[in-house]
């Protein structure tokens, strides 16, 4: 028993170190410029991959020739702009696509994400760590939303990158991500706290083709699963989870959107004969009205938008 407890602590410590590493690398893992080359790029890239190995439970990378070559670049101080390194990065991109389909993807919260969580806390109390550092390690749990399970690239994009599109704000990465990741995280926490059940992400087969995002009715419920059988009266209290089950893919046309901003290449069948462009996101198809909300679910209305206070349902003490 003591050995198992020690192993659990070791795994938890490794996961925390991996997440801290990815956070630290996010803004410094760059090639540099031809005038100011980042000669540490190979070392930093290997460090990033090692951290991802831990979170993805990926164990078959280290001895591949592709990564022996990366370590050789590191030992020789090879410029990332050299022809050899450029060729390596092309081959790495192909490997990355295969790895995403086999193991899944890791993402790091944006600067706005970290700041938002700090500002939501009680200013009179010590700041709680961002849940990115303490979420479960199991791939596929909705509370481990910063690691998505093995799936086709279009599914990873639809669950993670999908946002309202370019808009006002300094953190464009946060704008493009949207808020689905937080809805999944908080719904999973609410479900666990109230019912004891877990919320699981259910990706399509890794070779599945994209659905018809423009003409089809695609509901988020087909990509999530409740592990357990909560009774109806208990599940009725899980408002955040119910919202997920109502969410549907919707889009609107954007006139004269430049091709560089088009979501066509990321979200499936968006090419149309007349060259139209679209903005797309997951939406609650039947949000409750203000009169229907009671107790901790009270909300305020901003036009037709319902802004819930999800914090009432978040309990960071569970796994």
User: What is the reported pLDDT for 298?
Assistant: 40
User: What is the reported pLDDT for 95?
Assistant: 96
In degrees and rounded to multiples of 5, residue 74 shows phi and psi of -65, -45
Q: Taking the mean position of all CA atoms in its chain, how far away is CA 207?
A: 20
In degrees and rounded to multiples of 5, residue 256 shows phi and psi of 60, 35
pTM beyond 0.95: the answer is no
User: What is the reported pLDDT for 274?
Assistant: 55
Which of 64, 135, 69 lies closest to 98 in space, CA to CA?
64
User: What is the reported pLDDT for 165?
Assistant: 43
| CA dihedral angle for residue 165, residue 168, residue 169, residue 174, rounded to 10 degrees | -10
User: What is the reported pLDDT for 262?
Assistant: 44
Q: What is the pLDDT along the chain (319 residues), one digit of tens a residue?
A: 566 566 778 888 899 999 999 999 988 889 888 889 999 999 999 999 999 999 999 998 989 999 999 999 999 999 999 999 999 999 999 999 999 999 999 988 888 777 776 666 555 666 677 888 888 888 999 888 889 999 998 888 788 755 444 444 556 566 556 578 888 888 999 999 999 999 999 999 999 988 776 677 888 899 999 998 889 999 999 999 999 898 888 766 555 555 544 443 444 334 444 555 555 677 787 776 554 444 444 433 333 333 433 333 334 443 3
User: What is the reported pLDDT for 209?
Assistant: 85
Distance CA 173, CA 110 (A): 7
User: What is the reported pLDDT for 270?
Assistant: 45
User: What is the reported pLDDT for 101?
Assistant: 93
For residue 201, with 0-12 CB atoms within 10 Å meaning exposed, 13-18 middle and 19 or more buried, which class applies?
A: buried
């Amino acid at each position: 028993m003591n050995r198992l407890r020690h192993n659990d602590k070791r795994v938890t410590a490794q996961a925390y170190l991996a997440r801290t590493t990815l956070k630290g690398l996010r803004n410094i893992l760059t090639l540099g410029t031809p005038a100011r080359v980042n000669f540490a790029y190979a070392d930093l890239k290997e460090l990033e991959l090692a951290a991802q190995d831990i979170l993805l439970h990926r164990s078959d990378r280290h001895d591949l020739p592709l990564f022996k070559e990366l370590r050789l670049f590191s030992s020789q101080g090879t410029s990332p702009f050299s022809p050899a390194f450029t060729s390596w990065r092309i081959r790495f991109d192909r490997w990355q696509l295969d790895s995403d389909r086999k193991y899944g993807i890791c993402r790091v919260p944006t600067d706005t994400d970290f700041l938002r969580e700090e500002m939501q806390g009680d200013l009179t109390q010590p700041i709680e760590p961002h849940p990115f550092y303490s979420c479960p390690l199991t791939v596929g749990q909705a509370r481990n939303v910063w690691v998505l399970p093995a799936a086709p690239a279009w599914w990873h994009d639809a669950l993670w990158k999908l946002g309202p599109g370019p808009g006002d704000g300094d953190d464009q990465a946060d704008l493009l991500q949207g808020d689905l990741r937080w809805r999944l995280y908080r719904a999973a926490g609410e479900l666990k706290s109230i019912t004891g059940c877990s919320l699981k992400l259910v990706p399509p087969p890794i070779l599945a083709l994209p659905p018809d995002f423009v003409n089809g009715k695609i509901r988020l419920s087909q990509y999530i699963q409740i592990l357990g059988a909560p009774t109806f009266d208990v599940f009725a209290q899980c408002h955040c989870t119910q919202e997920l089950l109502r969410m549907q893919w919707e889009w609107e046309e954007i006139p004269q959107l430049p091709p560089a901003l088009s979501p066509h290449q990321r979200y499936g069948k968006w090419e149309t004969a007349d060259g139209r462009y679209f903005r797309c996101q997951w939406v609650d198809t039947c949000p409750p009205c203000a009169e229907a909300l009671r107790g901790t679910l009270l909300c305020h209305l901003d036009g037709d938008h319902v802004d819930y206070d999800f914090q009432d349902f978040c309990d960071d003490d569970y796994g």
